[in-house]
């Protein structure tokens, strides 16, 4: 796989596609760079993130953190394992996160995988055919990633996969994020996680109104903010994964098919966008999604904000008048 991939890329080293720039960085990997962020891709995974403008590396390769919940997801005969891995709120602080361990749910690249890269005028297409599920090779299962740049300079990545009946999702992770950084999520109004944990953990978040409120994940390290998000008016199903341990973290916004999964052989969820902002915090990395949301749903937001009585709401007591300290609330405002 490695030699065939490199031979095809030799003539493409340091090629530009409009504002995108592609470069071979190793026999089995390539880097694609936009206005502000460079992503290094290997085996349908993003293994490194770098600032184009400042040169800051947000990832570490030794030993780094690979993601086990990554690849083309197929649940045929694995309904129980699918449920175990996709626990709706895998919060480690209260001990309800799933164990981080190898899973047969995902097809990944291996020795017999064939890969090719195609560069056209406006996009870059990387294709991997032949995937391994728990060591078993399926020659026709495949993953395809298509890269382009949006009007604001973010990198757009379209994910596509095909295989046997039972395709439930596709997970293209950002791996090897440095353990010194922090992760920010729109969960319960906003949560911050350390990128490093004493033991290896799998944190899962289902796309509900509480567990993760928007398809947005932010990593901040070395005074730079890296964001990944999905702009989707239809709010297609997805699942957010964090895998972290002593050596750092990996993130993924897994795109999901509609149920029943048993009837699907392909998947093509809405694209993910990536961007990086130097000398910035999490707000800068979250702002592109916020701006898109406010513009797209301006009419609905105006209706929501119209009732003036809502301006007087100061506190929402989760638990009503039985919430601890409820009786003291009037004295606080």
Structural domain boundaries of the chain?
2-287, 298-332
User: Per-residue pLDDT for 71 more than 50?
Assistant: yes
- Residues of the chain with pLDDT > 70, as a percent, come to 95
In 3D, which of 18, 11, 319 has the Cα closest to residue 147? 18
Predicted pLDDT of residue 2: 47
d(CA 244, CA 182): 11
The model's pTM is: 0.90
Average pLDDT, the chain: 92
Predicted pLDDT of residue 312: 84
Predicted pLDDT of residue 318: 73
Predicted pLDDT of residue 4: 45
d(CA 241, CA 90): 9
d(CA 109, CA 133): 9
In 3D, which of 229, 214, 213 has the Cα closest to residue 276? 229
Mean pLDDT for the stretch of residues 206-221: 94
In words, the CATH class of domain 2-287 is mainly beta
Mean pLDDT for the stretch of residues 197-221: 94
Per-residue pLDDT reduced to its tens digit, 74-127 = 999 999 999 999 999 999 999 888 889 999 999 999 999 999 999 988 899 999
């Amino acid at each position: 796989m490695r030699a065939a991939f490199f031979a095809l890329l030799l003539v493409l080293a340091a090629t530009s596609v409009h504002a995108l720039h592609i470069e071979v960085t190793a026999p089995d990997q390539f880097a694609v760079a936009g206005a502000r962020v460079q992503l290094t891709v290997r085996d349908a995974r993003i293994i490194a993130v770098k600032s184009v403008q400042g040169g800051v590396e947000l990832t570490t390769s030794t030993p780094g953190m690979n993601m086990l919940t990554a690849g083309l997801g197929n649940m045929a005969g694995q309904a129980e394992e699918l449920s175990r891995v996709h626990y709706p709120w895998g919060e480690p602080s209260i001990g309800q996160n799933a164990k981080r361990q190898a899973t047969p749910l995902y097809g990944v690249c291996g020795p017999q995988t064939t890969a090719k890269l195609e560069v056209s005028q406006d996009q870059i297409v990387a294709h991997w055919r032949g995937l391994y599920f728990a060591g078993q090779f399926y020659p026709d299962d495949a993953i395809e990633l298509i890269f382009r740049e949006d009007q604001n300079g973010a990198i757009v990545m379209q994910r596509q996969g095909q295989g046997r009946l039972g395709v439930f999702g596709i997970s293209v992770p950002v791996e090897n994020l440095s353990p010194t950084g922090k992760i920010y999520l729109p969960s319960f109004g906003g949560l911050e996680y350390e990128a490093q944990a004493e033991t290896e953990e799998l944190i899962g978040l289902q796309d509900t109104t509480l567990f993760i409120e928007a398809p947005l994940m932010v990593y901040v390290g070395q005074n730079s903010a890296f964001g990944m998000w999905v702009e989707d008016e239809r709010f297609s199903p997805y699942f957010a994964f964090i895998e972290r341990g002593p050596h750092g973290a990996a993130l993924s916004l897994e795109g999901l098919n509609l149920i029943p999964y048993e009837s699907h052989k392909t998947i093509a969820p809405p694209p993910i966008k990536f961007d990086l902002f130097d000398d910035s915090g999490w707000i800068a990395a979250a702002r592109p999604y916020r701006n898109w949301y406010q513009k797209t749903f301006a009419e609905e937001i105006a209706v929501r904000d119209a009732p003036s009585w809502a301006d007087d709401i100061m506190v929402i007591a989760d638990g009503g008048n039985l919430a601890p300290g409820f009786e003291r609330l009037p004295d606080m405002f």
